[in-house]
Amino acid sequence: MIRSIRGRLQWWYGAVYALSIIVFGCLVYWRADRDVNERATLQAVSTAQYLDVSLRTGRPGPMRDGRPGNPPDFNLRDDQHGDHFPPDFGMGRLPPEFQFRPPRDRRPDLGPPHDRRPDQLRGSDQPKGPPVRKGPVEPRLPPELPGDNSDGPRPPIDRMEFAIWRHDGSVLARSGGAESNDLPDLQMPAGSGHPLQITRGDGFIEAAMLGPQEATIVVRRPLAHDMAKLHRFGFQIATMAVGTLVVGIVGGWWISGRIVQPIQMISETAAQISATNLDRRIETRHLDQELVQLGTVLNGTFERLENSFQRLTQFTADASHELRTPLAVIQSQTELALSQPRSAESYQLTLETCLKSAERMRSLVDGLLLLARTDSEYSELRKETIDLRSVAEDAVAQLQEKAISVGIELECAAPETMVGVSADVRFLLQVPINLIDNAIQHTPSGGKIFVEVKTEGNDAVLSVRDTGCGINAEHLPHVFERFYRVDAGRSRQHGGSGLGLSICKSLVESHGGTINCESKVGEGSVFVVRLPLVNVGE
Amino acid sequence: MRVLVVEDEPDLLRTIAQVLREDGYAVDEAADGQDGLFKARSWEYDAIVLDLLMPKLTGWQVLEQLRQTHKTPVLILSARDGVTDRVRGLDGGADDYLPKPFHLTELKARLRAIIRRSAGLATSQILVGELTVDTKTKTVTRGDTLLLLTPREFSLLELLAMHRGHVVSRTQIYEHLFDENEDSLSNLVDVHVSNLRRKLGKDFITTRRGQGYILHD
């Protein structure tokens, strides 16, 4: 199996090309062969007709433009008449009934020659045929007659032979080659009922027709020279075909090379792109349209790769920043405490600070792990049909104390009936907790947080609305990004890790839901979680 | 020596301020970039410790705006430890860059180093006549004799020694010796100067009336 595109292209192209050349050559040869045969047949037939007309009129063949036509290209061997042409067959002028009729006309079967009466030759089915005239009728022969008057040496041609029998079977006349004294081995066709009968033999064509006074005319057209010419022609065609095929295949190889070259260029560029130079792109300006498409698709992939790589780098930097800060607190605090003897209160303060930092690191690590888990696979989710109302109420109950301690009113509203969702309660509970916690952090004392559960169409909806400071429109698209902070200082004082909302988004999406946020600066924000509603009745 | 610490992490800010105060610095604190920039412009600090990721103004923005008017030595203290961040910080006008988490001893050494360099000194020891003022160990020796000074007295001597040959005004002394929270009485400087004269020698510090004090070589 050929694996390279170029090789396969070449193979298919070569095969189709060779096949079409072979078919074309065969068609040409067949056509030439048919032409040779048709021409030979025509020559034989027209010669027979010429002899027929000569027999009837005593004049040399049909008239063309008022002059006698060219004699057929054969030699008469007639001792009585010598080289005189037209030959006088001793029959004188034929009566008008014997005038020539085009042999191509369909005529009734006339039976054997000796049974025929001359008037039957007129053809009783053609009463409205050409009108009978006095004197010889201009016969309508095919315009071409064998032989020509061209000067100079003529190529060897196949000379025709003929023989004419009287109705009693005796030979009236027969041709003989100038170079041969042998009588042609023409036989009077047995039972030749047709006015014109064409026989194809091995290397010749014979035309037999019924002449005047039930004479039988037979003309043989040998094909030896024509066949030799035809074979030469065939050989030439074959030679040209092979030559064309070679040129075509070599040209095709070159063309396919040119087509494949940009693909190689693309693959080289793609191979050079690595983590350190993700900003490289495939040059599409000089490419063909199909390859521009490929290049654009690849460039788009590189673009996304670069973006996700940058996001990853940013995430790593942010994560390390968030981890380093509490670490720096612990390290400097302990170093300071150990630098000289201190009071018990001072050590206690140091330990409290360290504990606080350690807790912050723990929550951060927990958040990162949770994110990594929801990122990697959702297989850990043990989904069951749970009531979203109880999830919201649990979260509110957990955070009620914290809300009261900072002077915020936390309320929850839910419908009478169950709002079923398919979820893992361990993970889903984190969503309202994070949202409410986030709302508490951004709502000043005396504010209000309203948690609502309801159904909308096929969605179970959980919304958390606060009367906080709101989020500026420029920050709104980024609030679910990891470590994105609208105000870098604010949430840190509340112990936020910068991961809460992105964890919410990740969890909600792992449950097949959506989360979004609307906000007005100064009026507050609302976070809406939509999950697919599960019909409890089922 | 007076130092400004700009840091949005309260625990860290408190720790750094404490350790620097214990080391004899007068320390001002700023919890965000805006406050930090305001203070850095208001007083003449010997050095500034600057965090990068802060609310209101980032460390880079503070540095950029500060550098338009001030040459105060700046040490960036950041949890961002990437090479690009360090390069950006140093090229932005910072004199040093220390990534978190860090050792307090290293922070102190780096602070001493940038203060020393800004005064045009090569080592941590300043020779004034027979006296050797060691800014590293915070000690003053005459020959082999160790002279006992209070931290405040040492700071005053260090300040005068760093600017020796130049008149140091009373305002300058106030600015470099006391932090923003100290209720500095106008005669406090006089008390410290007379104490120094008593311990080091009467003619050691010359008073230029109406201008300030000067330490001759």
Structure tokens at A100: 């020539």
- Residue pair A449/A409 in contact by the 8 Å Cβ criterion: yes
A86 pLDDT band (50/70/90 cuts)?
very low
- Domain tally, chain A: 3
CA angle A14-A17-A22, nearest 5°?
120
d(CA B109, nearest CA chain A) in Å = 15
Side chain identity at residue B179, one-letter code: D
What residues in A contact B100, CB-CB < 8 Å? 324-325, 327-328
Q: How many Cβ atoms sit within 10 Å of the Cβ of residue A113?
A: 22
What is the residue-wise DSSP string for B89-132? Answer: HHHTT-SEEEESS--HHHHHHHHHHHHHHHTT-SSSEEEETTEE
Does residue A254 sit within a domain? no
pTM as predicted: 0.58
Question: Of A376, A406, A422, which one is at a domain's C-terminal end?
Answer: A376
Residue among A195, A230, A202 at smallest CA distance from A45: A195
Distance of CA A60 to CAs A54, A56, A57, A396, Å? 5, 10, 8, 128
Does pLDDT of A107 surpass 50?
no
Same domain, A72 and A168: yes
CATH number, domain of A399, equals 3.30.565.10
Same domain, A348 and A442: no
Q: Look at A290 and A122; give whichever has higher pLDDT.
A: A290
Same domain, A152 and A214: yes
- Calpha distance A242→A234 (Å, rounded): 12
B210 dihedral zone (left: phi>0; alpha: psi -120 to 50; beta): left
Residues A322-340, mean pLDDT to the nearest whole number: 89
Supply the pLDDT for residue A116. 39
Same domain, A167 and A178: yes
Does pLDDT of A516 surpass 60?
yes
- Calpha distance B174→A195 (Å, rounded): 145
CB contact under 8 A, A320 and B81: yes
Supply the pLDDT for residue A101. 38
Helices (H), A273-343: 289-339
Least confident of A114-128, A196-210, A282-296: A114-128
Supply the pLDDT for residue A510. 83
Same domain, A317 and A406: no
Does residue A244 sit within a domain? no
d(CA A493, nearest CA chain B) in Å = 8
Does residue A206 sit within a domain? yes
Least confident of A189-193, A470-474, B178-182: A189-193
Does pLDDT of A89 surpass 70?
no
Same domain, A116 and A208: yes
CA angle B154-B156-B162, nearest 5°?
100
B172 touching A, CB under 8 A? no
Question: Of A196, A230, A264, which one is at a domain's C-terminal end?
Answer: A230
Supply the pLDDT for residue A120. 39
Supply the pLDDT for residue B96. 94
Question: Sign of torsion, CA A265 A269 A272 A274?
Answer: negative
- Residue pair B3/B48 in contact by the 8 Å Cβ criterion: yes
Residues A49-69, mean pLDDT to the nearest whole number: 60
Supply the pLDDT for residue A167. 76
Structure tokens at A182: 């042998």
Supply the pLDDT for residue B214. 86
Residue among B16, B99, B109, B102 at smallest CA distance from B52: B99
What residues in B contact A488, CB-CB < 8 Å? 8, 53-55
Same domain, A501 and A362: no
CB contact under 8 A, A332 and B80: no
Q: Look at A535 and A397; give whichever has higher pLDDT.
A: A397
Looking at residue B8, the DSSP 8-state letter turns out to be S
Same domain, A53 and A34: yes
A102 pLDDT band (50/70/90 cuts)?
very low
Q: What is the set of domains in chain B, with CATH numbers?
A: 2-118 (3.40.50.2300), 125-215 (1.10.10.10)
Supply the pLDDT for residue A317. 80
Does pLDDT of A497 surpass 80?
no
Does residue A252 sit within a domain? no
Does residue A262 sit within a domain? no
Does residue A385 sit within a domain? yes
User: Which residue range(s) make up the domain with A302?
Assistant: 273-376
Question: Of A230, A260, A295, which one is at a domain's C-terminal end?
Answer: A230
**pLDDT for B92-114, tens place per residue?**
999 999 998 899 999 999 999 99
3-state secondary structure of A334: helix
CB contact under 8 A, B55 and A357: no
Beta bridge partners of A456: A459
Same domain, A295 and A399: no
Least confident of A132-146, A171-185, A434-448, B131-145: A132-146
Same domain, A30 and A124: yes
B84 touching A, CB under 8 A? no
What residues in A contact B82, CB-CB < 8 Å? 317
B170 pLDDT band (50/70/90 cuts)?
confident
**pLDDT for A239-290, tens place per residue?**
999 999 999 999 988 988 888 888 888 888 888 887 777 788 888 787 778 7
How distant is the alpha carbon of residue B103 from its chain centre? 19
Q: Cα-flanking dihedrals φ and ψ of residue A33, to 5°? A: -60, -45
Same domain, A386 and A370: no
Cis peptide before A86 (omega within 30 of 0): yes
Burial-class residue A188 by CB neighbours within 10 Å (0-12, 13-18, 19+): middle
CATH number, domain of A336, equals 1.10.287
What is the residue-wise DSSP string for A454-486? Answer: EEETTEEEEEEEE-S----TTTGGGTTSTT--S
Does residue A527 sit within a domain? yes
Q: Cα-flanking dihedrals φ and ψ of residue A428, to 5°? A: -65, -35
Same domain, A163 and A88: yes
Does residue A287 sit within a domain? yes
Measure CB to CB from residue B11 to each of A329, A488, A490 and give the nearest one.
A329
Dihedral of the alpha carbons of B153, B154, B156, B158, in degrees to the nearest 10: 170
What residues in B contact A490, CB-CB < 8 Å? 55
